[in-house]
């Protein structure tokens, strides 16, 4: 397949490389001039998508996505698929999809989970919003870049699934960390706490798979001095997107809001920047209030 790939950063770079390795004809563009082995460099975003059956974007935020969409949509062939894999606000995802459809394209919003390791290993999960025809065209690309693609419904629903999932993740990580800090104060051994909770009704991915207590449970960033992993500032970005969506849709999300405020404090006022999002545990050990 002929593919144009815009945004060759930490995630987009390895995703584009995997598509090229699988034999697809990939042309790439990144504003920072990044080049990737096996990917033909283009001088502009428009040039990268010219003649492509699928244009993939992997960009930092909704504002940048909207500006790149303005550039590439007029340059794409009718019937081609505009596949955005960035994590952006639901409103931007729906606006760009509408713009693409008006120009005769298929549009998909397909944010991912799995992080840089998943992008490199081709094991990402894609949460996909958009039309069935576009999904069917992109399916073979999802199978190369990832191990699972869930079609969640019309445009914007991929982003909706992503931010709902990450709102749950942020909130469960916080409460798991505060429970460990409370258990410490109550004299409960961390291993005993893990053995009970991971097999009881308090279990979650945060406890069972990504335990924030070092030396307890499967290996996780806590065992590597809380080096990310999934950085606290990226969690903050996703919690902010969830709150934007909640306010735009008039949904009541008090725990999601509290989680966002706590990660904002951790990243912006404390020592959370550049640390894994599970470093909330050492934060609670220090008992920082407010």
State the chain's maximal CA–CA distance in angstroms.
Answer: 65
Cα–Cα dist 195/200, whole Å: 9
Please report how close the Cβ of residue 31 comes to ligand NAD at its closest, in angstroms: 4
Nearer to ligand NAD, 87 or 179 (CB): 87
Residue 37, number of CB atoms within 10 A of its CB: 9
* Closest residue to ligand NAD in the complex (CB): 9
Catalytic-labelled residue, pool 2, 63, 78, 162: 162
**DSSP tag of 105:** -
Report the 10 Å Cβ neighbour count for 80: 25
CB of 272 to ligand NAD, least distance (A): 16
Told to judge if 185 belongs to the known catalytic residues of this protein, a careful annotator would answer no
Q: Closest distance between ligand NAD and the C-beta of residue 13, in Å?
A: 7
Token pair belonging to 169: 């993740």
Identify the CA nearest to 85 among candidates 24, 159, 153, 34.
Answer: 159
**72 vs 80, beta carbon nearer ligand NAD:** 72
List contacts with ligand NAD (CB under 6 A): 6-12, 29-32, 34, 45, 58-60, 64, 68, 86-87, 112, 115-116, 234, 237
Q: Which is nearer to ligand NAD, 151 or 237 (CB)?
A: 237
The DSSP H or E segment spanning 180 is helix 157-185
CB-wise, 10 or 248, nearer to ligand NAD? Answer: 10
As measured in angstroms, the least distance from the Cβ of 18 to ligand NAD is 14
Taken in order 51, 120, 144, 138, is the CA torsion positive or negative? negative
The set of catalytic residues is 162
């Amino acid at each position: 397949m002929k593919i144009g790939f815009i945004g060759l950063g930490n995630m987009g770079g390895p995703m584009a490389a995997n598509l090229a390795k699988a034999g697809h004809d990939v042309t790439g563009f990144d504003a920072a001039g990044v080049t990737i082995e096996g990917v033909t460099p283009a001088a502009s975003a428009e040039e990268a998508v010219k003649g492509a059956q699928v244009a993939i974007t992997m960009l930092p935020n909704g504002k940048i996505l909207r500006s790149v969409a303005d550039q590439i949509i007029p340059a794409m062939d009718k019937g081609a698929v505009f596949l955005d894999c960035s994590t952006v606000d639901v409103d931007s995802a729906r606006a760009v999809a509408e713009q693409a459809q008006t120009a005769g394209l298929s549009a998909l919003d397909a944010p991912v989970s799995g992080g840089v390791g998943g992008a490199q290993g081709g094991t990402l999960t894609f949460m996909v919003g958009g039309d069935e025809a576009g999904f069917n065209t992109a399916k073979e690309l999802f199978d190369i870049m990832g191990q699972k693609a869930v079609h969640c419904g019309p445009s914007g629903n991929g982003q909706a699934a992503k931010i709902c999932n990450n709102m749950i993740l942020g909130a469960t990580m916080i409460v798991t960390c505060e429970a460990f800090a409370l258990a410490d104060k109550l004299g409960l051994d961390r291993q005993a706490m893990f053995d009970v909770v991971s097999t009881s009704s308090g279990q979650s991915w945060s406890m069972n798979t990504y335990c924030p207590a070092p030396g307890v449970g499967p290996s996780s960033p806590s065992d590597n001095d809380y080096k990310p992993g999934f950085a606290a500032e990226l969690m903050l970005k996703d919690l902010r997107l969830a709150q934007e969506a909640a306010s735009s849709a008039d949904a009541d999300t008090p725990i999601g809001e509290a989680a966002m405020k706590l990660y904002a404090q951790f990243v912006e006022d404390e020592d959370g920047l550049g640390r894994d999002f599970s470093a909330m545990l050492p934060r609670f050990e220090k008992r920082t209030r407010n």
